[in-house]
Each structure stands twice: as structure tokens, then as C-alpha cells.
Amino acid sequence: MADEERGTRVAGKYELVAPLGEGGMANVWRGLTHGAAGFTRKVAIKRVLPKLAKDTTFAAMFVEEARVVSELQHPNIVQVHDFDQDAEGRYFIVMEWIEGLDLDDWVTTYDGVGPTPWPLAAAIGIEVLRALSAAHERTDEAGNPAPVIHRDVNPANILLGVTGTVKLADFGLARAMDRASMTQPGIVKGKLSYLSPELLTGQQATPKSDIFGLGIVLWETLTGKRLFGGGHPGDVIMRVAESKVPLLRDMRPDLPLPLCEVVHCALAKKLDDRFDSANEMLRALASLLRTHPEPTDARPLGKSVRDALARKRARK
């Protein structure tokens, strides 16, 4: 089906160039926007799956995603350019294109090379926390708190650009707290191995749920191993519920103790033992990097992304 759609123009101006992946609700394409006088621009196009196009529940969730993300204007959040329907009635979202790779690929390219550089991992964590802070601190038009919980913070949703940008993507599982009707009883949303233990018991998602998810991401980025993932879904659920986290210093003695403490605080099983906010965790990581002699800004991060892309191409 994907091959048949290559080159198709959606709504007359968005060309489907190459499929990038498919989730439970939609598929994502690398695309081009076509304008006047031969103008083109790279974009990402997310379209609801054909089998769900006429499902009013999923259509409402997709519309909700577009609405929520369009309101989250922040440099570390993938931005929405357009939202529309194609001739078949399928909704689609047009988003900014990030030239680079996701965090999962970035980590994988270090296999056989050496451990991931912890200062850059911490810097990536800081940028993701900026995105989460913006979502968690969102307000409505009247200025009332209207936080958005991502609920699916995982390496595939953290995009690293060749210029050193870090963007959090895919708020498809997010729920604005002013849209409680979007939640269906009994449905656990999010990739199991990145859920927080309280979500498995049906508790309400909070900013601390996203902090736990980022804690998993950082632990895996630093170790190159999966924390809770792998095996039967029931086994994954049991591991998340128990939340037994091997000590980072036992796996990587080179890591500074303050970094390990930050990650383990984010991964605390009890809510009261975690950081109170994404901004608090951000400050802890930023304080650590201020004592590091080497720069960890966009320039070295961008170089690491370009190097990772080169290693990825060389292995194909």
C-alpha cells in the first residue's frame, strides 16, 4: 500500500515521498509541500489509517492531537504547519521536518564504538525537559492551568537534528486535562516499557508520569540496554510495576554520581520521591553540566548527530 501511494499528492499540495513508520492510529511520511513558482519544502505528514478513518472515536483523538500540539508553540516541540482532510476523508497533520535521526538510532550507532557520551545525553535530557515543561505548564485562553501530559516519552519520539536541535514529537497519546472525555476506561495508552508504574494501575497521568518516562530514556541512553522492555507484554508490565532499577554506577563507573542521582530520582517508584516538576529535574541536570569543562551546546550535539548518521550509513 505504501509503495502505491508514493508520489501521491494529498489535498493537492502535499506529496507523499517515502513512508517512515506506522503506529496504532496513523502512518507517517516524509513529504514535500508544493507551492507557487516551483516552491517546495520538506515536511512530515501524519495520516490516520484507512481502517480508522470512519471510526469517530479515533477521528476525535486525531483531531484532539492536532488541536493540542498546534497550541504548544515551543522550540523543543515539533511544530504543526497544517491540518486537513484528504479526498477520502482521512485526516492528516503536516509537521515540520527534522533532518537527522531519533534518539534510538543515535544510541544504536554507538554499538561497537564505545559508551554514549554522558554530557551529550544530559544535554539532550535538558532539551526534552524544556519541551515537557512547556506542555505541563500550558494555560488556556483565560490563563487557567491546562497542562498536557505526553504519556509516551520514548527514544523514537525524541528527534535530534544535524544542527544540534532536540525536538519532542508525537503527542498522539497526550490528553489535555480540559478534554477528560477523550479517555476511555480500561485503555492503557503508551508503549508499555515506557509507562510509569502508577499508570498501570489506572491512576491519572501527571507531569511525574512523563518524568518517569524520561528517566527510563536516560537510563537506556547511558547504558545502551533496555530497562523494562523485552519479552511477553505481561512480563514487561510486571517489571514496570516492580520498578527495580539497576544502579547506573554499577553499569558505568565513569558516570558522575550527581547524574546517576538525577536519573534514579526520576525513576523513583513512589510519586513523592520523584522530582516535583520537569523544571526541577532540568535545573538539576543544568547544574551538573555547568561544572563540565567541555561545551554541550548545539554545535557538539549536531556534530555527534552527523557522525551518527555517517556510522549508520556505513553499516547499511
Q: Which of 105, 152, 170, 210 is catalytic?
A: 152
H helices present in 72-165, as ranges: 103-108, 118-136
- Rounded CA-CA distance 291/294 in Å is 9
**Residue 249, exposed/middle/buried by CB under 10 A (0-12, 13-18, 19+)?**
middle
Look at residue 304 and give its three-state secondary structure.
helix
Q: Are 278 and 129 in contact (CB under 8 A)?
A: yes
The dihedrals phi and psi of 205, each to the nearest 5 degrees, come to: -70, 140
Judge whether 152 counts as a catalytic residue: yes
Identify the residue whose cell numbers are 516524509.
30
Burial of 26 (0-12, 13-18, 19+ CB in 10 A): buried
Task: Name residue 47's amino acid.
Answer: R
Catalytic residues: 152
